[in-house]
């Protein structure tokens, strides 16, 4: 069964009310008539309500960049899964390397977030990936396997049914230095094989996005790889024409 790719924009800490309205307006226009690729955007939570409103009647799904593990209570500054859901968010990024680094999020904590999202009926977009030093030390497979096993060992492999993995080598994020299509394909195939050791069915359907300096010129080549199912896009998701070109590349990728 063919997997439908997902191209998701991770706006990170960028935007304003005016920017949100303008970018969504332009994206809707750029993507008219495009099918064969799921599309989502994750603005800062401040702008979810405005984005939900702007996206009414659009095929573009809404997402968020993080979630807390608690449902409610004395957790100053945190946002629950139910709150995100109430504003129409469907795809929730967890375990982004910027959160792992700046907020010291552990594999175990991220696995809890995964479980909370599944329980709330939302789609986790689990970010995994190695540092440059780990890459150079030949540790990439060990690192991504550990990050995936944190979920499998606590929630079971079936947690990946309907879920999304974003393989983002940290050395490629925001650096302009994307992994080559064949480097990325090799790791994506490894990730799928690793999950297949527990369940071939789950491995076959799980969406594995690539992320890290994806742009309008390198997207098509990446998406031509058999195990690359779309992309998590940072910088290039802030410009409607570039993001739309990436979506169209995924929609046109014949596998």
The residues of the shown chain that bind ligand PGA, judged by CB under 6 A, are 10, 168, 173-174, 211-214, 232-236
Please give the Cα distance from 199 to 202 (Å, whole number): 5
Work out how close the CB of 6 gets to ligand PGA at its nearest, in angstroms, rounded to a whole number.
13
Distance of CA 251 to the CA centre of its chain: 17
Which is nearer to ligand PGA, 140 or 213 (by Cβ)?
A: 213
Cβ-based burial of 50 (10 A; exposed 0-12, middle 13-18, buried ≥19)? middle
- Nearer to ligand PGA by Cβ, of 1 and 13: the residue is 13
Q: Which is nearer to ligand PGA, 202 or 248 (CB)?
A: 248
How far apart CA 79 and CA 157 sit, in angstroms, is 27
Minimum distance of ligand PGA from residue 33's CB (angstroms): 25
List residues with catalytic annotation.
96, 168
Classify the phi-psi angles of 178: left when phi > 0, otherwise alpha if psi is within -120 to 50, otherwise beta: beta
Residue closer to ligand PGA (CB basis): 169 or 202: 169
CB 125 within 8 A of CB 92: yes
CB of 166 to ligand PGA, least distance (A): 7
Cβ(183)–Cβ(140) below 8 Å: no
CB of 93 to ligand PGA, least distance (A): 8
Nearest-approach distance from CB 161 to ligand PGA, in angstroms: 23
Judged by CB, which is closer to ligand PGA: 173, or 251?
173
């Amino acid at each position: 069964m063919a997997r439908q790719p997902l191209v998701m924009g991770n706006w990170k800490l960028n935007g304003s009310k005016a920017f949100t309205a303008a970018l969504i307006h332009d994206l809707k226009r750029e993507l008219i008539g495009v099918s064969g690729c799921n599309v989502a955007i994750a603005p800062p939570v401040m702008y979810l309500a405005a984005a939900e409103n702007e996206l009414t009647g659009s095929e573009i799904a809404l997402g968020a960049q993080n979630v807390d593990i608690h449902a409610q209570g004395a957790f100053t500054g945190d946002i629950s899964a139910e709150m995100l859901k109430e504003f129409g968010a469907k795809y929730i990024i967890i375990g982004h390397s910027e959160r792992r680094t700046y907020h010291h999020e552990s594999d175990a904590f991220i696995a809890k977030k995964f479980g909370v999202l599944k329980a709330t009926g939302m789609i986790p977009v689990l970010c995994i990936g190695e540092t440059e030093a780990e890459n150079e030390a030949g540790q990439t497979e060990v690192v991504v396997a550990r990050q995936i096993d944190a979920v499998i060992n606590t929630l079971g492999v079936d947690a990946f049914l309907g879920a999304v993995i974003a393989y983002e080598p940290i050395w490629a994020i925001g650096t302009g230095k994307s992994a080559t299509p064949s480097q990325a394909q090799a790791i994506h195939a490894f990730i799928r094989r690793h999950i297949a050791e527990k369940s071939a069915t789950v491995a076959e359907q799980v969406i594995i996005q690539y992320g890290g300096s994806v742009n309008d010129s390198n997207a098509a080549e990446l998406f031509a790889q058999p195990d690359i199912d779309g992309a998590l896009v940072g910088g290039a998701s802030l410009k409607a024409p570039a993001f739309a070109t990436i979506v169209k590349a995924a929609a046109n990728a014949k596998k």
